[in-house]
Amino acid sequence: MPALTCAAVSTLQSFVSIMGVFFATQTPADLSSPKTLKDGEVFDFIIAGAGSAGCVLANRLTEVGNWNVLLLEAGGEEPFESQIPAYGNNLKLTNLDWQYTTVPENTSCGGDPCQWPRGKVLGGSSGINDMIYNRGNRYDYDVWEQWGNVGWGYHKVLPYFKKSENNLDPDIAKDTKYHSVGGYQSVGRFPFTDDNLNPIIKGFEDIGYKVVDFNGRQVLGVAHLQATNHHGVRRSTNQAFLTPIRHIRKNLKIVTNVRVTKISFHGKKAVGIEYVGEKDKSISGKVKALKEVIVSCGSINSPQLLLQSGIGPRETLENLGIPVIRDLKVGYNLHDHTGSFVVSYIVGNSTRPNSDDIYRDAILYSETKRNGPWSGIGSLSITAYTNSRYANTSIDFPDIQYSTIPSTTDSTELGYCEYNGVSPWCYYNRITFMPAILRPTCRGLLTINSTDPFDKPLLYPNTFCDDHDMNTIIDGFVAATKLAESKSFKENGFVLDKTPPPKCAHLEYGTDPYWRCGAIQETHSNYHPVGTCKMGPDTDPDAVVDPHLRVYGVQNLRVIDSSIMPRVTSGNTNAPSIMIGEKGADMVKETYGIVWGY
């Protein structure tokens, strides 16, 4: 079958643009310009960052009618393109993405910088991610509590997952011990199932894995995943938590395209923030917080803001001439789910289209239907969990997660079409079964080398720093190749592609040296960086925030986002970030004697 041609690409772009113009005309006027923020304004709470947790916080704190809340976001409004599930692959490396890269290391990405996309838009990374709704494993949270984070055990966080959830799949929603309906966040399977999904599921069953709901009773196995979509439309936390309230609650002010550059202190007390316009730097000022400043900028921007404000390692701050407010291990404990593009299959049921196919798909995803290939994410709708040699098999705590990543074998042609060199997730003829290390032992570092808040921080991932992490991913590669012998893969034309990475061609396929070389050359982040503002008890010398998410040694300052995770959860991190927002909001309310009926 021919590749996704320039004509087809042009057709796709035309349809997306036309629909984008239509939906722009249906959107209320943007009231979130930086010019609406006045220097010296006073609020009860200031939330820096409108990402997966920040949008939740803005919703829940404004439930208290006499609290005035300011929500600040460096990005802008969500464009229509972000609502199309299949288009998520085309949102990275655009103006919706901070476009972070790591400092080059010999142990990852072939010695080149690795890309670490982060959402720069209302909804944060929930506006550009693959929408996978994955809570992690119950033992993740029990370990957090065992480490001294009282109140963060699974029995305490499960109610907060359920609080936000509106599960759209009756077969899953009926399990009310683990799921609920009626929350702000819609969750469900994608409407469209392409021809490769069931054969992938059956292939894993053939080699011994059961079909599971990994947000329920059992994690080990394979699943048609659920996603933060509402009947074929992305449901970012912006759409889920802000859209229903932003023009109704008068005590919420949202300002986009403005960067928080510094937290203001009076002694050790946070009293507000300083800001600068993201696009128009002539716009600047200070605003005050009577109660608290809440940092919710994510695992890269939150530690950067703390460091710029004088909270972080003393040596780093003094070398830059930043007055030290509090000496804390900000930026330490950086880690991610690392995978690698080494094991791929060419599929018999190619979904690569021509212009006529795209026309058909556009009609299916029209204003009223929201169906067809655009309403899904292709083979990425399947995920599986397996055990490496290090996993404790006496409990349900697998340590490898597979992403089934679609791609096209002719991606070079797309570059000439000015299409970012990538195809929407729904169009592919190759699937990479990428294992990710769920609980890495390696830890990296985030730091700054400039006092300019517009300079990007330095990210040292320290990937594959030890044998544990390398052996774990090797076990993942080996298990992925076993699918080639499954009855389902043979019957459905899935062919293992043994083409080596160029720098690994001298090594024998399937040997440990080959896998090690492949892991280093074809490293890929799952885009789940966490841990840079670590939560821990006061006995933990590396902790930045306490179990109530208050920054140690200062007053009226919290961090509420994925950066507080002591250890990354065993799965995608968007759902846990939403939970952290829900639980964090209740902690704020409790501080002021408010119990909100939950």
- Residue length of the chain: 598
Contact 15, 358 (CB under 8 A): yes
Contact 528, 337 (CB under 8 A): yes
Q: Is 336 left (phi over 0), alpha (psi -120 to 50) or beta?
A: beta
Is position 528 annotated as part of the catalytic site?
Answer: yes
Structure tokens at 247: 């023009």
CB atoms within 10 A of CB 237: 32
Tokens of 242: 């802000």
Catalytic residue among 224, 230, 528, 548: 528
Buried b (16+ CB within 10 A) or exposed e, 323-339: eebbbbbbbbbbbbbbb
What is the H or E stretch that residue 519 is in? Answer: helix 512-521
DSSP 242: I
Query: For the chain, what is the largest distance between any 2 Cα atoms, rounded to a whole number of angstroms?
Result: 70
Read off the amino acid at residue 238.
N
Q: Dihedral (C-alpha) 123, 124, 126, 128: value to the nearest 10 degrees?
A: 110
Quick check: 62 and 43 in contact, CB under 8 A?
no
Name 119's bridge partners: 97
User: DSSP string spanning 2-51?
Assistant: ----HHHHHHHHHHHHHHHHHHHHTSPPP---GGGSPTT-EEEEEEE--S
CA atoms of 406 and 485, how far apart (whole Å): 20
What gap in Å lies between CA 341 and CA 434, rounded to an integer?
Answer: 6
- How many CB atoms sit inside 10 A of residue 510's CB? 11
Element (H, E) at 261: strand 258-266
Which of 465, 456, 460 is closest to 444 using CA atoms? Answer: 460
Q: Decide if 123 contacts 59 (C-beta within 8 A).
A: no
Q: Pairing state of beta strands 185-187 and 344-346?
A: unpaired
The two structure tokens encoding residue 454: 């517009």
Q: Residue 283 CB: number of other CB atoms within 10 A?
A: 17
Contact yes or no for 425/380 (Cβ under 8 A): yes
The angle that helices 54-61 and 574-591 make with each other, rounded to 10 degrees, is: 30
Point out the residues that are catalytic.
528
